[in-house]
Amino acid sequence: MDRSSLTRYAWLSIAAAVVTIILKTYAYLITGSVGLLSDAAESLVNLLGAGIALVMLTIAARPPDEDHLFGHEKAEYFACGAEGALILLAAGSIGFAAVNRLINPIPIEQACAGLSLSAAASVINFVVARILLSAGKKHSSVSLEADGHHLMTDVWTSIGVIVGVAAVALTGWHPLDPIIAICVACYIVWTGFRLVRNSVYGLMDSALPGNECEGINTVLDKYKSKGIQFHALRTRQAGARCFVSVHVLVPGAWTVQQGHELLEELESDISNTVSRVTVFTHLEPIEDPVSGHDIELDRSRK
């Protein structure tokens, strides 16, 4: 699939953010609720995050070039990290506004109209979030998944705000509004932290998930039963692309043609097990003691 087509999901997220910002801002203006203000602030962060995701998805879709021989997929991790950082910034601003309102409470007006607008915005975010999460999982896009998780966070925080504002309208206890906003800020801090953490893990060349590593080992076990040995298995992930390298030990009497055919078959089997994978294999004679000198993970120190 042409990865550049994924940008249409980012445009969808941008459109949803613009609509929800308008709805939630108007809801805040007519009610004066700091909870609804916090909700509108997070939608502004959604817009910024969607814009960053659009730029990074565009970069990530570029084919390999002379300066980036392994592609540009890692650009998506920058979008994920930036969105997490924006969420943390929004949480700080929400907390500041909520503490100020807790000290200086203001009655909520036209609660019914404001809650209706906020609920409509939440429905839009929920639908778009499900679309983004599904597309992100299908196409292994960390940017779309981060954006989808962010929107789902917005949905849950909106529900919390709606419940809080409704409770204030029913009970008349005004401090409940900023207390709900503070709870919202604490919750989205956790979401922002997870996104930043996932971005760091990706940029640090983390190994493939356990289920995919198990699949690779299952493939290798099939060949081990034929007397072939392996070591120095290494995996890493860069956005949607995966990389696997392994040393293959075969009888020294084999011809180059035999070794070549084995590696072609092995690489094909791994490619059928792990999607969008690039496989590097290194052939070694099983009888040569030198073949075992490069088992260590950090070969650069040899």
Query: pLDDT band at 12, cuts 50/70/90?
Result: very high
Give the range among 2-6, 71-75, 263-267, 279-283 with minimum mean pLDDT: 2-6
Model confidence over 63-116: pLDDT tens digits?
Answer: 777 777 677 777 777 777 877 787 787 777 777 777 776 777 766 667 788 788
Model confidence over 103-113: pLDDT tens digits?
Answer: 777 666 677 88
Helices (H), the chain: 7-31, 34-60, 75-103, 111-139, 142-171, 176-203, 210-224, 256-273
Supply the pLDDT for residue 203: 75
Half-sphere exposure of 73 (CA within 13 A, CB side): 21
In sequence order, what are the residues at sequence separation of 6 or more whose Cβ sits closer than 8 angstroms to the Cβ of residue 217?
A: 233
Is residue 115 a contact partner of residue 165, using CB atoms and an 8 Å limit? yes
Half-sphere exposure of 202 (CA within 13 A, CB side): 25
Angstrom distances, CA of residue 219 to CA of 26, 189, 223: 58, 41, 7
Angstrom distances, CA of residue 292 to CA of 114, 145, 198: 70, 41, 35
Supply the pLDDT for residue 268: 94
Q: Which residue has the higher pLDDT, 226 or 42?
A: 226
Q: What is the pTM of this model?
A: 0.64
Pick from 262, 268, 273: which is nearest to 227 by CA? 262
Which two tokens mark 190?
């956790």
Whether 247 has a pLDDT exceeding 90, the answer reads yes
Whether 302 has a pLDDT exceeding 50, the answer reads no
Q: Which domains can be identified in the chain, with CATH numbers?
A: 3-203 (1.20.1510.10), 210-301 (3.30.70.1350)
Q: Three-class SS of residue 4?
A: helix
What is the maximum alpha-carbon separation in the chain? 87
